[in-house]
Amino acid sequence: MAEYVEIFEMGPRDGLQNEKRLIPTEEKIALVDLLSEAGFRRIEVASFVSPKWVPQMADSAQVLAGITRAPGVRYAALTPNMRGFEAAVAAGADEIAVFGSASEGFSRANINASIAESIDRFEPVIAAAKAIGLPVRGYISCVTDCPYDGPTDPATVAYVADLLLKKGCYEISLGDTIGQGRPETIDAMLDAVLDVVPADKLAGHYHDTAGRALANIDVSLARGLRVFDAAVGGLGGCPYAPGAAGNVATEAVHDRLNELGYDTGLDRQVLEKAGEMARKMREDKADV
């Protein structure tokens, strides 16, 4: 039997958060409901952040309330602080995520905190989630390159990954936020991170700005990673990462993994439909 590699669908959150047009809640719900038919185990659908910082995610509670939950699918939400955590729990998120950075410049721009301050903020969130049995994922942004600070030292990524794991995150997602990673830099970063976190607790989250995400997934597979984040239709970008156009497309990751002999458990036809729906939701020439 082919080995399973999981794609964690990011479209409704990372995919849409940067869209300028405020997308009606019903459209977001329709996208999530279609994605729920594709065979994902985890879909990130919401983000309980400041609506002043990310207006597109302001209706996260309504999205979670409106979707039809498929059995076996966990619907995830970003939670930067206790306020976000409480809102995510009230809205019925099945898992939450804290999100930090391996570069000080991005940490400051994205969550208005230093790396150390952000970890302090995450601590009560992780503890509160654990107390009610809610899984917490940890993101690290700018694992190879930062739009503000330049190249990232792999040792810093390893340091933050180790810390997030020890604080209680069940998985660490390694973000090439601006899609400038190369197979060599991703490999060097993984070399450092794997010294402190095992491959089965890591995920690759590679934006495709420079068209290298699939090559970066290849080297990550060789290093033993078996979870990758992607967004249908290649939607997305981060509002605080200039030039962070496009998550790698779920369809492309699925096809690449199939070509390499892995099983994703996903229905390609549903992915195609969801990709089409996602592309229609984007405004023309969004600020990429």
Binding footprint of ligand HMG on the chain (CB under 6 A): 14, 17, 47-50, 52-54, 78, 80-81, 83-84, 99, 110-112, 139, 141, 175, 177, 205, 238-240
Name the minimum Å distance from CB 89 to ligand HMG.
12
Alpha-helical runs (H) found in 74-153: 82-90, 104-111, 115-131
The answer to whether 169 is a known catalytic residue is: no
The item of ligand HMG, Mg ion, none sharing an interface with residue 141, based on CB under 5 to 8 Å by kind, is ligand HMG
Stretch that binds Mg ion, among 9-17, 29-37, 107-115, 125-133 (CB under 5 A): 9-17
Nearer residue to ligand HMG within complex by CB, 228 or 240: 240
List CB contacts of 214: < 8 A, sequence separation 6 or more: 208, 248, 252, 253, 256
Kind plus residue range of the DSSP H or E element containing 24: none
With CB atoms as reference, the residue minimizing the distance to ligand HMG is 175
Name the minimum Å distance from CB 54 to Mg ion.
12
Nearer residue to ligand HMG within complex by CB, 70 or 159: 159
Question: Which residue among 142, 146, 169, 238 is the active-site one?
Answer: 238
Stretch that binds Mg ion, among 11-19, 50-58, 59-67, 161-169 (CB under 5 A): 11-19
42-47 and 74-78 strand pairing: parallel
DSSP3 helix / strand / coil % (the chain, rounded to 5):
45, 20, 40
Tell me if 19 contacts Mg ion by CB under 5 A. no
Comparing CA positions, the residue from 285, 283, 281 lying closest to residue 34 is 281
CA–CA dist 122, 97 (Å, integer): 10
Nearer residue to ligand HMG within complex by CB, 14 or 19: 14
The item of ligand HMG, Mg ion, none sharing an interface with residue 100, based on CB under 5 to 8 Å by kind, is none
Q: Residue 23 in contact with residue 283, Cβ under 8 Å?
A: no
Nearer residue to ligand HMG within complex by CB, 47 or 220: 47
Name the minimum Å distance from CB 237 to ligand HMG.
8
How is 174-234 classified by DSSP, letter by letter?
A: EEETTS---HHHHHHHHHHHTTTS-GGGEEEEEB-TTS-HHHHHHHHHHTT--EEEEBGGG
List CB contacts of 211: < 8 A, sequence separation 6 or more: none
Nearer residue to ligand HMG within complex by CB, 120 or 263: 120
Tell me if 14 contacts Mg ion by CB under 5 A. yes
Q: Residue 227 in contact with residue 203, Cβ under 8 Å?
A: yes
Name the minimum Å distance from CB 288 to Mg ion.
14
With CB atoms as reference, the residue minimizing the distance to Mg ion is 14
How is 41-66 classified by DSSP, letter by letter?
A: SEEEEEE-S-TTT-GGGTTHHHHHHH
Binding site for Mg ion (CB under 5 A): 14
Q: Which residues are catalytic?
A: 238
